[in-house]
Structure 1
Amino acid sequence: MWQEARKHERKLRGMMVDYKRRGERRREFYEKIKKDPAQFLQVHGRAYKIHLDSAVALAAESPLNMMPWQGDTSNMIDRFDVRAHLDYIPTYTPPLLNTTTPEQESEERKCNYERYRGLVQNDFANISEEQCLYQIYVEELYGGLQKPNEDEKKKLAEKKAQIGYTYEDSTVTEADEQMEKGNEDDSENSESEEDEVIPDIDVEVDVDELNPEQVTEINKMATTYGMADGDFVWMLRKDKEEVEAIKHAKALEAEKAMYSGRRSRRQRREFREKYMKGRQISPPRENLWGTVKRKMRNKRPKNADELKATVKETWASIPPQQCHKLITSMPCRIEAIIKAKGTPTKY
């Protein structure tokens, strides 16, 4: 009976491990193929020929179907027009001042950034509209070219490691060397030809590598697309910070997932110590408020005056350096709490 139970337990454990590994492989696969949904957005336009029938137009404008509105012969309308039942049509005068609020203007600038970000980057990189449309046509026809990332390159390099060795009996002929050189030259020429034919125009401007002149130039280009001066670089920097934050959070989650299980308490403790290393630890609460509570509990003040005296005495007994450290760190604490928006801070 015990052996049967152990057998089923091992079988269930193997199934659980298989499901877990299958889920990890599925997650890795979807992480590789995951793309920005905006890349799949396509706008197609087709030219249609309009066939005009002169007989229909003449019949619609014939005096039999037209009538003056309110007896005004200079304003002829169709006799089936709904304006025939109206007595007065007020004239529309557009407002002289813009009625949009600052919030609406800010939202409109953000929308313009999302709309025309690629165009601004192409203008900054001196990429013409014909090149951009040609690459879109090639990607729609053959699909986008997937470039391997650095991790995949490292894995492939490790698998394809070779050790150079020459045997005593073997001889390297000059013909083989010339053939190898010729193949290398052909591959280089083909790569250069491919680069010339299909240029890569997916430009991503790195904000940190721009000098002040380039920042001014790209901000000036963005103003023609409905953005204020300085909006484009500021929003690019915000996008980059958001991507870095998401990447850091994913790395932390992946590292935490590695230390799951009963036997990994030490790893989790080391991870917490590594995460807390270099942080500024706030003064312990026990030194400030615990002392007050203990003295109040021992003395047991009977009225408000004794309570006030006890609190003053307790605060006087706290070292001045500790109070100074707490007070000077308050602005940094408040700023960190505001930026964190509910997430843990370094304090």
Structure 2
Amino acid sequence: MWHEARRSEKKVHEMMDAARKRAQRRAIYLAKRRGDPSQSIQAVGTRCRIHRDDALYQASEDQQGLIPWNGKQDIMIDRFDGRALLDFIRDGSTRRHRVSEITEEEEELEEFVSFERYRDLIKHRRRGCRYFFLFVIICLIYNNFLYFFSFFWVFC
């Protein structure tokens, strides 16, 4: 039993060391790639033929393709503009944050859900699992609960 626990502990430490080394290598690689931003500017272009259409040019200059937005003659938009589907355009500076009112029933439900979410963590903490926080960190690092459960039950 002790040997299995020791073997699992070594495996966990090896995984943590490997993750740390990967993070260091990734940071070095990204620092090298980042470099000077002015050196990474690229201009890409392709050939295209220009077809001269005087009638189309004159129509766009005369604003024939524009329609009044919401019946307001002073605001003209293109007939294919997506804003034509909106009833109104909200001013960005007058954005208000809504304060959501939570009913007492929703508050009780939220408290129950939080209890269920952390029930196993609290239960194992009361049992005195000394490696518990190590595995929570590993779980967060790898984003894989399979590691969490497989190593957690070995040590507790």
Establish whether TM, by shorter chain, passes 0.5. Answer: no
- TM-score, normalised via structure 2 length: 0.26
Greater relative contact order (Cα < 8 A, sep 6+): 2
Larger radius of gyration: 1
- TM-score, normalised via structure 1 length: 0.13
